[in-house]
Amino acid sequence: MNSSDSLTPFFNPRGVVVIGVSHDPTKLGYGLARNLVQSGYQGAVHFVNPKGNTLLGFPVYPRVGAVPDPVDLAVLLVPPPAVPDSLRECGERGIRAAIIATGGFREAGPEGAALEDRCLEIAREYGMRLVGPNCIGLMDTHLPLDTTFLQPPMPPAGSLAFISHSGAICAAIGDWIKGQGIGFSHLISLGNQADVNETDVLAPVAADPHTRVITLYLEGIRDGRRFVEQARQVSRLKPIVALKVGRFESGKRAAASHTGALAGQETAFDAAFQKAGVLRASTTEEMFQWARALAWCPPPQGRRAVVLTNAGGPGVTAADALELNGLRLADLREDTVQALRALLPPAASLHNPIDMLASASAEQYAACLRTVLADPGVDSAMIIFPPPPASTAGTVAKAIIPVIQVADKPVVVVVMGERLIQEAVELFRAAHVPDYRFPEPAASALAALYRRAESLRELDEAPMLLQDVDQDAARRLLEGQAKGEFLSQEIANRLLKAYGISTLETVLATSVEQAVETAGQIGFPVVMKVASPDIPHKSDVGGVLLNLASPSEVAQGYQAVIQKAKAARPEARIEGVHLQRMLTAGSMPAGQDVIAGVVQDRQFGPVAMFGSGGVEVEGLKDVEFALAPLTRPEAERMLEKTWAGRKLKGFRSLPPADRQAALQALGRLAQLAADFPQLAEIEINPLRVLPEGQGPRGGQGAVAIDVRIKLQN
């Protein structure tokens, strides 16, 4: 039986027993019993309480052992110390799924944690799966089944599944949703997740045909890599929207590189969600505003949106919001404009946003909408109506709903107002047309639809698996290297070479004389860096000299570099200096310098970084992250989202650089980190991206000038 099968009793039990029911209507144990009965659950309902008797027309058994068949799922609401025994009785009774609603476990301190561990042991012993403890339970509005003690009525049945780490948020959202015109298929409160966690429930919830969108309230993720894998599969079928809170809780990690310092937990979450096709919302309301559009609208083909309204102001507001959300105002085709002209008075504005004027009738709304949706240059539409002076909002709604329902493009409506729009709002909701009060959330929802469409395309992309890497050579290089230490410059360079990343010859010189001689061999000008395993950021101690053009400059430089390093870090082991050829074109450095790095995230594995390098990486924060290994669109996005990446195409006097080589190097670096999890941090700073089409090795135009690699402890 695989993991998902073992969860079947939670989602489709033949019988449910509630342990710890109460006759007192003010107690949660009563609420639980009441909800189960009132939910209309079609399976067998059983209650357990040592006092026996009957409740709500059902017999109350003194103990679980006495409960007759069928019973697949137990819901426990007994005092914390009684939970282990109660769980054992469930196991003995042959029950293989239990929800522990009781609180007072890990969240309450070390004693509670020990109690929770005992519960888990017992569950394992009996092959039993657990939801909770410290949770509200599960709700399935279609089955139906309600194992919560939330105040009735149940949230309306609908197409959103809501999975939450917080029970309070479940309770709040379960009530709040009643005013939103959409309902839940599932409400799942996971509590402390002693056993079942957010990843486990994704597949079963997605398998339910009633579920169209999965929404997640997350305070963290248990097993990051499994989450990404599972969510990536599920989001191919159904959109997942997540709100991840606790952004500011976790401090920065201790890091040996810029990459490590910048790749905080939140950037790793961003990268993980991106990889998994999960849309990350920034507020609770936004999550559900997006979810409603995702549940009810087809995905758009592109970014081009049209705005149809009866007044200038809301149109301008909408245009702003669309642009701010990364969409564009569609340019209408000439025949579309002609058709609109025939439908509207001369003073109407036919330029998108289309202002039909205050006199616009319901028929004009419908005809104009039909016209713009037929334009192949339009990917989506936003219809806005402030209380229309010439008609009622309800009349407009009735006219346009049939047009929206046959459209293969997403249409969202903005019905502005409160009292004058109630009929329209109800009509739209009944017709599954997402309605918003203002243009801004409507634009945000259209943008989410676009990102979903984009994500669906990207989910089919495979990582850039480069075949010309020498994994064996890399493995041999890493054998016997000291844990928690930096690799030597030489080994680090060879590791990069094994993965096809060009490096600059780096020669160690341990004396003035040797430095001068080596520089002559390399060819002037040269770059000199202090060679020390104990100085990660060499320029911080004045340990880097550029453009040394003569033997005398090299000789003076050697003295200076060693002296400065010793002064700044008296305890550091200093081996001499590393010398490299300085890549120049005329008197300027050739090409463009960027940073490329990877850090192993505790949760999600290797996270790659790309952006503006140098020493001010943390200050400029011009960096972008993605989970390794990288697909080509992921690497492209990292370049597009950073100034360092964008300017590779050339900027003012800066000639275009070999972008393809930068993409390749980034992909190779990410692959190296994915292949060798023992590499804790890798940072190439700078990666010199040479001018387009040039380069030392057969057209490969990016060279790692400096690399630092640290091994895991």
Interacting residues with a copy of itself between 258 and 287 (CB under 8 A): 282-285
Q: Quick check: 540 binds a copy of itself (CB under 8 A)?
A: yes
Distance between CA atoms of residues 706 and 695, nearest Å = 17
* Two structure tokens written together for 607: 């996270």
Of the candidates 361, 348, 358, 438, which has an alpha carbon nearest to the alpha carbon of residue 400? 361
488 binds a copy of itself (CB under 8 A): no
Under the binding rule (CB under 8 A), the answer on residue 652 touching a copy of itself is yes
Nearer to a copy of itself, 67 or 515 (CB): 515
Instruction: Figure out which of the listed residues 249, 461, 490, 534 binds a copy of itself, where binding follows CB under 8 A.
Output: 249
Q: Whole-number minimum distance, CB 576 to a copy of itself, in Å? A: 20
d(CA 119, CA 112): 11
Q: Binding to a copy of itself by residue 700, rule CB under 8 A?
A: no
Cβ(566)–Cβ(672) below 8 Å: no
Answer left, alpha or beta for residue 373, where phi above 0 means left and psi between -120 and 50 means alpha: alpha
Q: DSSP assignment of 272-292, as one string?
A: HHHHHTEEEPSSHHHHHHHHH
Give residues 676-695 in contact with a copy of itself (rule: CB under 8 A).
none
Rg (alpha carbons) of the chain, rounded to whole number: 31
Contact residue for a copy of itself among 18, 97, 145, 169 (CB under 8 A): 169
Residue 79, interface with a copy of itself (CB under 8 A)? no
Phi then psi for residue 426, to 5 deg, are: -65, -40
**Shortest distance, CB of residue 321 to a copy of itself, whole angstroms?**
8
Which residue lies nearer to a copy of itself by CB, 51 or 419? 419
Residues 6+ apart with CB under 8 A from 350: 332, 337, 340, 341, 344
Least gap, CB of 208 to a copy of itself (angstroms): 24
Q: Judged by CB, which is closer to a copy of itself: 617, or 635? A: 617
Contacting range for a copy of itself; rule: CB under 8 A; set: 363-371, 452-460, 535-543, 627-635: 535-543
Question: Is residue 539 close enough to count as binding a copy of itself by CB under 8 A?
Answer: yes
With CB under 8 A as the contact rule, the residue among 225, 253, 370, 537 that binds a copy of itself is 537
Q: Report the nearest approach of a copy of itself to the CB of residue 35 (Å).
A: 13
Which of 128, 255, 416, 705 is in the footprint of a copy of itself by CB under 8 A? Answer: 416
In terms of Cβ atoms closer than 10 Å to its own Cβ (0-12, 13-18, 19+), residue 670 is buried
Q: Which stretch binds a copy of itself (CB under 8 A): 86-94, 297-305, 486-494, 537-545?
A: 537-545
**Which residue in 77, 123, 138, 171 binds a copy of itself (CB under 8 A)?**
171
Tell me, by CB under 8 A, how many residues bind a copy of itself: 90
Pairing label, strands 605-611, 592-601: antiparallel
- Beta-bridged to residue 75, according to DSSP, are 18, 99
Task: Give the integer Cα–Cα distance in Å for 161 and 295.
Answer: 11
Residue with Cβ nearer a copy of itself (127 or 156): 156
Of residues 52 and 103, the one with the C-beta less far from a copy of itself: 103
Which parts of 206-245 interact with a copy of itself (CB under 8 A)? Answer: 217, 219, 243, 245
Q: Per CB under 8 A, does 164 bind a copy of itself?
A: yes
Task: In whole angstroms, give the CA distance from residue 406 to residue 216.
Answer: 31
Report the SS3 class of residue 482. coil
108 counts as binding a copy of itself under rule CB under 8 A: yes
Residue 101 neighbours by CB under 8 Å, 6+ apart: 28, 32, 75, 76, 77, 132, 133, 135, 136, 137, 147, 148, 149
**Binding of residue 7 to a copy of itself (CB under 8 A):** no
Binding track, positions 587-606, relative to a copy of itself; x by CB under 8 A: x-------------------
Q: Which of 646, 675, 691, 694 binds a copy of itself (CB under 8 A)?
A: 646
Which of 204, 264, 386, 394 touches a copy of itself by CB under 8 A? 386
Q: Is 650 in the site for a copy of itself (CB under 8 A)?
A: no
Whichever of 510 and 651 has its CB closer to a copy of itself, that residue is 651
H helix intervals, 591-654: 617-620, 632-640, 643-646
- What H or E segment, with its residue span, contains residue 528? strand 526-531
Q: Which amino acid is at 49?
A: N
Q: Which of 62, 341, 643, 693 binds a copy of itself (CB under 8 A)?
A: 643
**For residues 602 and 652, which CB has a smaller minimum distance to a copy of itself in the complex?**
652
Residue 179 binding a copy of itself, by CB under 8 A: yes
The C-alpha atoms of residue 579 and residue 230 are separated, in whole angstroms, by: 48
CB count, 10 Å around CB of 549?
Answer: 12
Query: What one-character DSSP code corresponds to residue 265?
Result: H
**Residues 295-354 within binding reach of a copy of itself (CB under 8 A):** 309-314, 316-317, 319-321, 323-324, 347
132 binds a copy of itself (CB under 8 A): no
- Considering only the stretches 38-46, 143-151, 485-493, 633-641, report the one whose residues sit in contact with a copy of itself under the rule CB under 8 A: 143-151
Instruction: For residue 177, state whether it binds a copy of itself (rule: CB under 8 A).
Output: yes
Return the bridge partners of 384, or none.
Answer: 414
Under the criterion CB under 8 A, does residue 619 sit at the interface with a copy of itself? yes
Helix (H, G, I), strand (E, B), or coil: what is residue 429?
A: helix
- φ, ψ for residue 77 (rounded to 5)? -135, 60
Helix (H) / strand (E) containing 324? helix 312-324
Binding of a copy of itself at residue 419 (CB under 8 A)? yes
Q: Answer yes or no whether residue 363 interacts with a copy of itself by CB under 8 A.
A: no
Which value, to the nearest 10 degrees, does the dihedral of the CA atoms of residues 308, 312, 317, 320 take? 80
Q: How would you label 455-466 residue by residue, b for 16+ Cβ within 10 Å and e otherwise?
A: beebeeeebbee
Query: Binding residue for a copy of itself (CB under 8 A) from 66, 82, 114, 358?
Result: 358
Shortest CB 95 distance to a copy of itself, Å: 26
Q: How far is the CB of 286 from a copy of itself (least distance, A)?
A: 8
Tell me: does residue 699 bind a copy of itself (CB under 8 A): no
Residues in 50-69 at the binding interface with a copy of itself, rule: CB under 8 A? none
